[in-house]
């Protein structure tokens, strides 16, 4: 039923809770887990010049660390994992990745927020993913 499980990650503690549910789900279905981090272009675009490049590099580094942390847990459970870092708006990229790669279910925590969302209270990435995704979305509090 579930061959591919997507775990969007922002490196927050909420991702650990989502993994607590996603790993058994993937294990039960012998599914591949996909870890996805999105470099939020809105945060990067708030800076200019050399600072813009530094922000992008920092966000990419955070992203690589976040997907590696997910991969470590998934591999320790004996499951296959793919890691990806994309650039764009988080909810759009999450939904797009799910559609592009044939994801069967998305498991995420509604508690992680991007730095810009914390500042501006633009709403929840998980709310927008839930609204726009064409596959089931499990929100783990």
Question: Predicted confidence band at 45 (pLDDT cuts at 50, 70, 90)?
Answer: confident
Predicted TM-score (pTM) of the model is 0.89
Distance CA(8)–CA(138), nearest Å, equals: 11
* Tens of pLDDT, residues 10-40: 998 899 999 999 999 999 999 999 999 999 9
Q: What is the CATH number of the domain that holds 11?
A: 3.40.50.620
Q: What is the DSSP string of 76-100?
A: HTT--EEEEEEEE-HHHHHHHHHHH
Average pLDDT for 71-92: 97
* Tens of pLDDT, residues 95-139: 999 999 999 999 999 876 555 444 443 458 999 999 999 999 999
Contact 119, 135 (CB under 8 A): no
For 113, the token pair is 């927020």
* Residue carrying structure tokens 């922000």: 55
Task: Supply the range of the domain harboring residue 93.
Answer: 4-139
Q: Give residue 120's pLDDT.
A: 43
Q: Which residues pair with 26 in a beta bridge?
A: none
Distance CA(110)–CA(127), nearest Å, equals: 8
Contact 55, 47 (CB under 8 A): yes
Average pLDDT for 69-82: 98
- In this predicted structure, which of 25-29, 51-55, 69-73, 120-124 has the lowest mean pLDDT? 120-124
Strands (E) in the chain, as ranges, are 4-8, 32-40, 81-88, 105-108, 137-139
Average pLDDT for 74-101: 97
Distance CA(138)–CA(141), nearest Å, equals: 10
Q: Give residue 115's pLDDT.
A: 52
How many domains, in total, are found in the chain?
A: 1
**Residue 27: left (phi > 0), alpha (psi -120 to 50), or beta?**
alpha
């Amino acid at each position: 039923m579930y061959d591919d499980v997507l775990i969007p990650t922002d490196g927050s503690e909420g991702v650990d809770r989502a993994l607590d549910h996603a790993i058994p789900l993937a294990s039960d279905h012998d599914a591949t887990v996909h870890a996805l981090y999105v470099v939020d272009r809105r945060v990067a675009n708030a800076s200019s010049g050399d600072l813009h490049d530094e922000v992008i590099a920092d966000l990419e580094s955070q992203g690589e660390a976040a997907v590696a942390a997910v991969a470590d847990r998934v591999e320790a459970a004996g499951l296959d994992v793919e890691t990806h870092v994309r650039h764009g708006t988080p909810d759009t990229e999450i939904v797009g990745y799910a559609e592009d790669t044939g994801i069967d279910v998305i498991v995420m925590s509604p508690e992680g927020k991007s730095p810009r969302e914390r500042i501006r209270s633009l709403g929840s990435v998980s709310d927008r993913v839930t609204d726009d995704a064409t596959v089931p979305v499990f929100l783990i509090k």
